[in-house]
Amino acid sequence: MANKLQSFIVTAIIFLLTQATYADSSVKAIQKKLSELGYQPGDADGIWGKKSEAALNQFLSSKGLTFDGKIDTNELELFEIFSFKYNIDDSLPVAWIDEFKNIMEILQEVLPVDKNFNKYVNKSTMDIYAWNGKVKNPFFEKREMSGASISGDGKTRWMVLEIPENEFKYDSLHRYSVIVHEYFHVYQIGLSKDRVDPKWLNEGGAKVFEEMFVQQYYGRSSLRGDFERAQLWSDEVFTNPKLYEKFETSSKETTDGWMDMNYAGSAFIFLTLVNELQKQSISEEEAFQLVFRDFWIEKSDESDWEKAFEKTFKINIETFYERLSEYSRKDIKKILPSRSLKIQDIFN
């Protein structure tokens, strides 16, 4: 009896541990793939159970392979499931690393990267390199990288996250929002098949999304503050928005300040569009769905972004720019996203 009880407890503990380790988006993706291929892994709930393992074993033995007992890169590559590989330098604080993993988990759950993205990386895996800017770039294989970006060499692409020491010192949420920002670019590239113009929809979207994310999870955001700092963006947003369609014409420093520092100008145009869309009697959630997601899907088979714009938003770009010219810096409050808005309500 005692033995039986003991073994039950041991089994229960092992089961819990297994669940905790495997309950993630990779498991969910594998379960979905197995179902698609005609196996029966049970519900795609992200929890690795007996059914899932039996289905995986069936699949593997059909290929003359056996399961090594651990869901990792091997399995993901085999199913051509997109995944990230984390290369995180220990110059970063443990607290940041934990948050990084949490944030990536939420993002992959709420807005998974489209399988199109596999085309742009080797073996359906994208490396993320992260380190604290107080040390020299510790990754010898990629000496030239710095700052934060999605970079590529024609063969593959990777994410660069060099986090400036000051962002820890002054408790800047940018140390987290930058993760969201760069992830969002991967999302856009996947959906649009790498057709990521115009700049104000691309960078404006990434900026607004990262700020909505930190507002939801950390209770504050620098969006409003950025809009209120006149030096960060130019009035050409209202008079000549075409400049914001390209990086080359919108990243300059002028006598009045920057054209688009922190992408504040792009974000303003972006949120003005969301505001205009809501006048077509669509909800705030739906309007954000159109700008964050549907526009990029439309672009995957429409290389002319102005056409994709009109198809998605039912308004042409000239008309939109005319409406934009009626806005001013006084309209900041009018265009800020509702604080109660959750990203889960947008990408459902």
CB of 282 to Zn ion, least distance (A): 26
Closer residue to Zn ion (CB): 100 or 183 = 183
Residue 263 CB, nearest distance to Zn ion (Å)? Answer: 7
- What lies within 8 Å, CB to CB, of 135 at 6+ separation is 89, 91
Nearer to Zn ion among residue 93 and residue 147 (C-beta): 147
> 128 φ, ψ to 5°?
-120, 125
* Tokens, residue 316: 């042409």
Contact letters (x/-) for Zn ion, 102-131, by CB under 5 A? ------------------------------
Which residue lies nearer to Zn ion by CB, 203 or 302?
203
Q: Which of 15, 173, 26 is nearest to 113 (CA)?
A: 26
- Reported as type and span, the H/E element at residue 9 is helix 2-22
Question: How many residues touch Zn ion (CB under 5 A)?
Answer: 2
Nearer to Zn ion, 182 or 302 (CB): 182
**158 Cβ neighbours under 8 A, 6+ residues apart:** 126, 127, 128, 129, 142, 145, 150, 151, 152
Q: How far is the CB of 181 from Zn ion (least distance, A)?
A: 6
Query: Nearest CA to 236 among 256, 259, 254, 213?
Result: 259
Looking at beta carbons, which residue is closest to Zn ion? 206
Distance in Å, CB of 207 to Zn ion, minimum: 7
By the 8 A CB rule, do 288 and 337 touch? yes
Residues 218-247, one symbol each (x = binds Zn ion by CB under 5 A, - = not), give: ------------------------------
Q: Which is nearer to Zn ion, 41 or 265 (CB)?
A: 265
Under rule CB under 5 A, which residues in 84-103 are in contact with Zn ion? none
Q: Least CB distance from residue 202 to Zn ion, whole Å? A: 7
Write the binding mask 177 to 216 for Zn ion: x where contact by CB under 5 A, - elsewhere: --------------------------x--x----------
Q: What's the CA gap between 55 and 274, in Å, rounded?
A: 45
Q: Quick one: tokens of 277?
A: 């869309």
Kindly list the residues in this chain that would bind Zn ion in the complex (CB under 5 A): 203, 206
